[in-house]
């Protein structure tokens, strides 16, 4: 049991229903808040409750300890004829109150199920000698193992029955992956882990270089886009990669308050400096240069402007920008094109495009309609680009596929940088 912080699991309390005494504790691995007579008197209704609470997870807390139990009732008129025709027991976990009960739920339920099966098959819990010989050391061992490695245990309970329990950390669902996102490793990965990954992941993981976006990876590895996205989502869940925006010299970025951490922590500075050195450079760059370069991203400046301004020879701007985006020092300022369809701007738009041939006209209007629909403030330029529309900074976005000149004037679109 660790002394510095509160352990993962204080104790396991095994209690059962006795016809003479009512609910009572048979064995507990350690004395807890719940073992005192008065406290136990309060919780006995929960520990060995009436049938309507059986097989339900019950969580109670006293002071700074929480009790998790899943009461079990086995009804058998033959076997328990001396015991009101049923047998009630409960193996409760006692955990620190600030811990998340959801994490333990599966383990508590599984242990209850194991014990129930053992009891039904071989009277494990009603045979006094078996209980004494196997149950007590097994419970002790479970608590010891879980506290030791923090999440799981594998304990031999009786004859050939092994109890495998694992505490499940609740993790947030990984966000959906867009075609325009760029995956980037956030830790050094162990190549030996690679063999354990599924073939799909093995196929795409080599293409992750911090610059290629999901769409490109899918094309380069000749795999289906949806599968690549799923693989990426899986990797995000396991905290192997994180998503950053596409790098481009005409991107804009803004510094985030997180840069304060970088300024204060020498280790982070070292990591940054070692990362951003241009390949083949003889010397390491100074933090002074890097930091000034990061600070030069002020919402308005494009990456190429910053590069031209700083003239830092040994800094690889791609690495710098992607690294800072990964670490959250920089936030991409995305541009959203928004079409102003309800307004008067549409009129001169139709006039200019009158001269074209009928078929082209029809195709174009159809195309334009979809583009106009896309430009409603929910798609930024990256996601439009992934759908085949590219931006010309001087005019409206045009479709790449049919070769046409853009005819709509600039002012029917708004650009919002956010």
Partner 1 sequence: MDRIAFEKDLIAILLVVESAHDKNKLLYKYEQANTNIREPEPVNFHTSYSIVIAKDFDPPSVKDDDAPRTTFQNFDETTIAILTSPNSYGSHVEVQVDDVIFVGHTLGLEQSTDLKSFAIFFVLRAIAKASVIISYQEMSQRIGTAIRCEEQRVHYLKNEYDKLLTFIQPHEIAASDSSNRRQNEDDKAREIREQAYSTMAEESQLAATLKQIFTDLQVSGEINITINNWLNVSCCLPHRSIALNCSLEPDFAFNVLSNAEQILKPYYGILLVIDPSALLASLPIDSSSTLSTLVRHLRSSYSMSRLSLETGLPLPQIYRLASHLLYWGRAKLIYPIYDDNVYIISPDADISKHGSLSKLYKETFRNTTNYPTLQEALAEYSDAVPFYDHTNRSDNDSELQERLQCVEWLLRHRLLVQVHYYYYLVLPNDNRSDFKDEYKQTRLPRPRVPLRRNQYSSNLFESSSKNERFHLTSENIDIRGNLLSVNSYDYNMASSPSTNQFSYSSTHHSRSTDTLKTMTGTSQDDVFASSSVNSNTTTDTGRYASHYLTKVSQALPNEQLEYQKSLAIAIKDAKEQHVTDFLRLIKYFNGTYHLEEITIMENMTRLQVLTIIEKFQSIVARALHPDPNPILQI
Spatial contact of 27 and 136, defined as CB atoms under 8 Å apart: yes
Nearer to partner 1, 2 or 260 (CB): 260
Nearer to partner 1, 264 or 357 (CB): 264
Shortest Å distance, C-beta 117 to partner 1: 13
Q: Of residues 26-55, which lie at the interface with partner 1 (CB under 8 A)?
A: 39, 42, 45-46, 49-50, 52-53, 55
d(CA 49, CA 242): 47
d(CA 253, CA 261): 18
Using the rule CB under 8 A, give the single segment among 108-116, 119-127, 148-156, 384-392 that binds partner 1: 108-116
Spatial contact of 117 and 109, defined as CB atoms under 8 Å apart: no
Establish if 227 lies at the interface with partner 1 (CB under 8 A).
no
Per CB under 8 A, the list member of 91, 139, 273, 306 interacting with partner 1 is 273
Establish if 310 lies at the interface with partner 1 (CB under 8 A).
no
Q: Of residues 368-387, which lie at the interface with partner 1 (CB under 8 A)?
A: 376-378
Nearer to partner 1, 332 or 364 (CB): 332
Shortest Å distance, C-beta 2 to partner 1: 23
Shortest Å distance, C-beta 209 to partner 1: 19
Per CB under 8 A, the list member of 202, 343, 352, 404 interacting with partner 1 is 343
Nearer to partner 1, 263 or 391 (CB): 263
Positive or negative, the CA dihedral 369, 371, 374, 376 is: negative
Establish if 106 lies at the interface with partner 1 (CB under 8 A).
yes
Shortest Å distance, C-beta 137 to partner 1: 26
Nearer to partner 1, 113 or 366 (CB): 113
Radius of gyration of the chain (CA): 32
Using the rule CB under 8 A, give the single segment among 104-112, 124-132, 208-216, 385-393 that binds partner 1: 104-112
* Chain residues that interact with partner 1, rule: CB under 8 A: 39, 42, 45-46, 49-50, 52-53, 55-62, 101-102, 105-106, 109-110, 113, 168, 170, 254-257, 259-260, 263-264, 266, 269-270, 273-274, 277, 282-284, 286-288, 291-292, 294-295, 298-300, 314, 331, 333, 336, 338, 340, 343, 376-378, 414-418
């Amino acid at each position: 049991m660790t002394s510095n912080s509160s352990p993962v699991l204080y104790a396991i309390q095994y209690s059962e229903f006795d016809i003479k005494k009512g609910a009572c504790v048979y064995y507990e691995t350690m004395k807890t808040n719940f073992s005192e007579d008065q406290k136990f008197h309060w919780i006995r209704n929960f520990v060995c409750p009436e049938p309507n609470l059986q097989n339900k997870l019950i969580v109670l807390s006293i002071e700074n300890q929480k009790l998790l139990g899943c009461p079990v009732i086995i009804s058998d008129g033959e076997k328990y004829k001396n015991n009101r025709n049923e047998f009630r027991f409960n193996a409760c976990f006692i955990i620190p109150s600030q811990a998340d009960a959801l994490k333990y739920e599966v383990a508590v339920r599984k242990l209850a199920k194991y014990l129930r099966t053992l009891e039904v098959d071989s009277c494990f819990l009603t045979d006094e000698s078996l209980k004494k010989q196997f149950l007590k050391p097994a419970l002790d061992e479970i608590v010891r193992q879980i506290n030791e490695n923090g999440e799981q245990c594998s304990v031999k309970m009786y004859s050939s029955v092994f109890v495998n329990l694992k505490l499940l950390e609740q993790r947030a669902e990984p966000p959906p992956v867009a075609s325009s996102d760029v995956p980037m490793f956030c830790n050094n990965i162990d190549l030996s882990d690679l063999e354990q990954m599924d073939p799909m992941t093995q196929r795409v993981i080599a293409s992750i270089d911090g610059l290629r976006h999901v769409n490109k990876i899918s094309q380069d590895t000749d795999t289906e886009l949806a599968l690549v996205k799923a693989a990426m989502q899986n990797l995000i869940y396991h905290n192997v990669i994180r998503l950053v925006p596409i790098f481009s010299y005409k991107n804009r970025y803004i510094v985030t308050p997180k840069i304060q951490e970088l300024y204060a922590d020498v280790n982070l500075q070292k990591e940054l400096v070692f990362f951003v050195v241009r390949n083949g450079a003889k010397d390491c760059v100074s933090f002074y240069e890097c930091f000034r370069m990061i600070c030069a991203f002020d919402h308005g400046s494009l990456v190429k402007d910053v590069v031209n301004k700083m003239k830092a020879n040994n800094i690889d701007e791609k690495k710098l920008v992607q690294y800072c985006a990964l670490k959250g020092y920089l936030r991409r300022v995305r541009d959203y094109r928004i079409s102003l369809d309800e307004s008067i701007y549409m009129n001169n738009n139709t006039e200019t495009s009158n001269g074209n041939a009928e078929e082209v006209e029809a195709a174009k209007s159809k195309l334009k309609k979809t583009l106009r629909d896309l430009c409603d403030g929910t798609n930024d330029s990256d996601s439009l680009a992934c759908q085949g529309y590219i931006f010309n900074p001087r005019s409206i976005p045009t479709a790449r596929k049919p070769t046409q000149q853009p005819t709509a004037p600039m002012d029917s679109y708004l650009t919002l940088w956010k």
